[in-house]
Structure 1
């Protein structure tokens, strides 16, 4: 293999976490929110085309992507991904009872609050795709098993079976799985992904548009504009075929734009994680999710070595130097420094590989970890 599987596990999670962080930092710059400490210099300077006109709560960008979030943390999907990874590690696989308990505990916690008295149990498809990353990593080796386990896992998060919602998650997780196995060919990735999900809907149409844009060598601004217009056209077509269309429906084609942009940014520069994530951030479209998905795809493809060292240093500095308060700089999914993220990836990999005690400290007597035969040796229940 070009990169070790452990490196790819680390790269997937680190890429998603730091992509989320980069996306949030850039969004905050777009709306004029400056870092709270001098040690945290902006990672991505604004381009000359992104002139800001900040007056009170208004923001005007010289771009088609003028609807930029106000900088409020929207990394709930990342925190759910961490909780799900911990469930997989704790249960040595997908235990639906523990998975459901994890979801219910997370849903009731204060860390996931949508500003309404009643919790909404249906995740946005892009949020669900981020949250399902650990499951894709754990079941990546067999595409039939991947489909089965992902469907079981996401059923817990939704009150209704929605084919388009499921397709969005499966498309991302299949691409991640192929990258982990080093079987992802950038030239045919979209074609293989569409063949895997076996359906035609708004997402697959947007992915086909991404393929066309890549073949034509379209620049970032052109690609973002075209995908936004395509999503709008798809939504209008949906409205014509339905007498009643829910404005905030999760099948809204616009909700799939971050996934389409993530595929475009990754596949346009598949060997360069830094450039892929930077370009994803510069779209200004749902920056955290777009960058997290781009970082996960590129991290799975290129491994942890592709993660820029300065990004990890800046994110670690943000966690160590800033208190948990409203308006804080982006953290790494609220579980500590990037070293903690790497440890999480290592433990997930260890459980996948059959290590007897993945939680043993590296400096302990258990350094030479025992690898268990599947379903034969397991930790004792006390």
Structure 2
């Protein structure tokens, strides 16, 4: 393998977290807040697509249970991903009771900010895809198990439109899994993902459009404009069909705009698969749901290229940003509430250790106990004290 699996685990989580941070800084510029460090100035340049972010009602995540995030408290999906990774580590796998308890505790916590009383605790599809990243990483080795475990995991989270919602999570999860196994071919990635999904819906339609754009060599502006227009056309078509069928149940409505961040993330990653920096920066500059789009792009490229592809200066800026922000109620502020990037790496290391069957992952990869016993399935088990 070109990169070790541990490096890919680290790259997936680091890419998502730092991508989220870059997207956040870009969005803060859109609303007139300068970057918190001068090091980010060269990469955060506003484009004419900035209006797409500001007019979220047109192209953004525009269902009743979503919004375009614009503050440092907007990464609920990222913090849920951290909580889910910790659940997998704590339970040595997917324990549905603990998984449900984790969700309920998270939904009721102070760091979670419900968007409305009516839809409290509901994630949009792209947020769910980010939150499910640890599960996709943990069950990446077998595509049948991947589907089974992800479906069990996301069943715990409330959603408005289950089939479309599940497709979004599986699409990102499958691409991550292929990248971790070093079997993701950028030329056929979308074709293989659609085949794995085994369905024909809004997301698969947008992914087909992404494939066409990539084959045509479309630039970022052309690609984002085309995807936005395609989503708008789909919504108008749905509206017309709904009127003909006299549909009154709003829960049956699918908002195509909710899937644009996933489509753009696939485009930005597959357009420059070997360059994580460029992929994430272009995702930020497209001006569409910056945090989610950049987080998904960073996760895809991080899984494909490993931790070595993460720009060192981004990690330094992340740590500097944490130090420069004021503390509130004793908590350490950051996009995913993880503080320094070393904590993010430690989380990825521990998730990898549990997946690999390490006898006692709690001692940490940085400890003196570097010689580890790897458990054969159902043979070596933790001792009960």
Q: Normalized against structure 2, the TM-score is what? A: 0.90
Contact 2:326/2:333 (CA < 8 Å) preserved in 1? no
Partners of 1:150 and 1:44 lie apart in 2 by: 35
Residue in 1 that maps onto 2:218: 218
Counterpart of 1:114?
114
- Which consecutive residues of structure 1, in runs of 5 or more, have no partner in the other structure? 51-60
SS of the residue 1:367 aligns to? coil
Match of 1:254 among 240, 254, 257: 257
Judge conservation of contact 1:281–1:290 (CA < 8 Å) in 2. yes
What pairs up with 1:134-145 in 2 under 5 angstroms?
A: 134-145=134-145
Instruction: State the superposition RMSD in angstroms.
Output: 2.3
Residue 32 of structure 1 corresponds to: 32
Q: Is the 8 A contact 2:52 2:287 kept in 1?
A: no
Paired residue for 2:326? 323
Structure 2 residue runs without a partner (length 5+):
57-67
Deviations 1:72-128 (A, max 9, x none): 232100000000000000111101011001001001101111243466232100000
User: 2 CA distance for matches of 1:289 and 1:119?
Assistant: 20
How many aligned residue pairs are there?
Answer: 369
Which residue of structure 2 lines up, in the alignment, with residue 313 of structure 1?
Answer: 316
CA distance in structure 2 between the aligned counterparts of 1:373 and 1:125, rounded to whole angstroms? 36
CA contact (8 A) 1:30 1:46 kept: no
CA shift for structure 1 position 35: 4.0
Distance 1:214 1:356 in 2: 45
- Quickly say closer, same or farther: Cα 1:266–1:247, change in 2 above 3 A: farther
| Superposed counterparts of 1:294-309, under 5 Å | 294-309=297-312
Structure 1 distance, partners of 2:249, 2:286, is 27
1:175 match: 175
Relative to its length, the structure with more helix (as a share) is 2
Distance in 2, Cα, partners of 1:231 & 1:119: 23
- Aligned residue for 2:273? 270
1:342 to 341, 345, 348: 345
Please say if 1:67 is aligned against 2:55: yes
**Structure 2: distance between partners of 1:180 and 1:283:** 27
Distance in 2 separating the partners of 1:161 and 1:251: 7
CA shift, 1:339, in A, is 0.5
Q: Is contact 2:52-2:288 (8 Å) kept? A: no
Q: Residues 271-290 of structure 1 correspond to what in structure 2 (within 5 A)? A: 271-290=274-293
Contact 1:89-1:348 at 8 Å conserved across structures: yes
The whole-number CA distance in structure 2 between the counterparts of 1:251 and 1:180 is 31
> 8 Å contact 1:125–1:250 — kept in the other structure?
no
Q: TM-score, normalised by structure 1?
A: 0.91
- The alpha-carbon distance between structure 1 residues 248 and 276, as it changes in their structure 2 partners (threshold 3 A), is farther
Per-residue CA deviation, residues 192-220 of structure 1 (Å, 9 max, x unaligned), is 00000000000000000000000111110
Mapped contact 1:40–1:317 kept (Cα < 8 A): no
Deviation at 1:34, TM superposition (A): 2.1
1:86-97 correspondence to structure 2 within 5 Å: 86-97=86-97
